[in-house]
Structure 1
Amino acid sequence: MAELTLTKIIKAPREVVFDAWTKPEHLKNWWGPGKVYCPEAHVDLQVGGKYRIANKIEDGSILWFSGKFEEVMPPEKLVYDWYVGENDNAPSLVTVLFREHDDGTELVVWHARIGDEATRDMHGKGWLGCLEKLDEMFA
């Protein structure tokens, strides 16, 4: 199993960054790396609640990310399992921390239980692209 941790300072209060991460209308503005974008998002923000987020790829296909929330502590922490596509039988686990920082919010994304290093590297590029768009949204 592999894992990755990314940290980014976002120039907005953590309550605002938490909302951007958890409200579908905000997710659609930044989710997806590079030219990938989010045409549809569903979030039931409670322990046991499910989420489903679409990534529309450049070729027009859609890749879904989904799972359920294991921890919801607004505006400081989220923990949720992470399925890629419709046939992913072994979910990984994502923990997101929203920490107060002098410049806004220190965002920490810890993605664990990833099947192998190649998949970890792919997720790492995806997360970096998403975090860049989130940062740009508040720049």
Structure 2
Amino acid sequence: MATPQQGPETRLQIRRTFAAPRKKVFEAWTQREKLEKWMCRDNPNNTPRYIEFNDVRPGSANLMEIRTADGSVYRQRVVFREVKVPEKLVFTWAWERFSASGQKEEQQEETLVTVEFHERGNSTEVVLTHEFFRDAKQRDQHSKGWNGCFDVLAEYLGSQAGERK
């Protein structure tokens, strides 16, 4: 992974509290059947599916394909670097976008995501840090995407929209 200059424009941090126990929230991130219920489902016109899903452990990789309404396809790949059940996940994150005809149109270089799970009584605070973006525009696009995913995760976990911070 190339390491661009690190600064506020290349780093994103989101804190969200979910009305669910930490074990349940962690499992929503690490079990395929649960992850497929919320990840990249913030746009009802998108159809995400995992085409490769491995055990969540350091070195394992997962590949998701997201088909959009216009026929474009995003391929998102994560490789786990650290897994500390049920406290922390660290993984690389990269994606490519293809046109409906299969032509590669765009690629995001590898970035790094750290997700921490903190018990807060009967709830769980998730702190997501996503870093090494190319620029502020890319960071802001991911902020919108992650917050949308977290909204769906909150619904999936049976809570309200989750408390944004």
TM-score, length-scaled by structure 1: 0.90
1:19-67 Cα shifts (integer Å, max 9, x gaps): 1111111111111122234222624311111111222323243212112
What amino acid is the match of 2:16?
K
Per the alignment, residue 123 of structure 1 pairs with 142
Per the alignment, residue 128 of structure 2 pairs with 109
What amino acid is the match of 1:12?
A
> Comparing 70-79 with 97-106, which one deviates more in the overlay?
97-106
What amino acid is the match of 2:27?
D
CA contact (8 A) 1:70 1:79 kept: yes
> Comparing 48-57 with 65-74, which one deviates more in the overlay?
48-57
Question: Does residue 1:52 correspond to 2:60, yes or no?
Answer: no
Q: Distance in 2 between matches of 1:109 and 1:99?
A: 11
Q: Measured at CA, do residues 39 and 57 of structure 1 come closer, stay the same or move farther in structure 2, by a change above 3 Å?
A: same
TM-score, length-scaled by structure 2: 0.77
CA contact (8 A) 1:64 1:85 kept: yes
* Deviation at residue 89 of structure 1 after TM alignment: 6.8
What amino acid is the match of 2:138?
T
- Tell me, which stretches of 5 or more residues in structure 2 are unaligned? 98-105, 160-165
Larger radius of gyration: 2
Q: Choose which of 63, 88, 92 in structure 1 pairs with 2:111.
A: 92
- The structure with the largest helix share of the pair is 1
Aligned length: 139
Q: Choose which of 38, 42, 65 in structure 2 pairs with 1:30.
A: 38
> Comparing 43-52 with 83-92, which one deviates more in the overlay?
83-92
| Structural RMSD (CA) | 1.8
Q: Distance in 1 between matches of 2:133 and 2:122?
A: 31
Per the alignment, residue 100 of structure 2 pairs with none
- Tell me, which stretches of 5 or more residues in structure 1 are unaligned? none
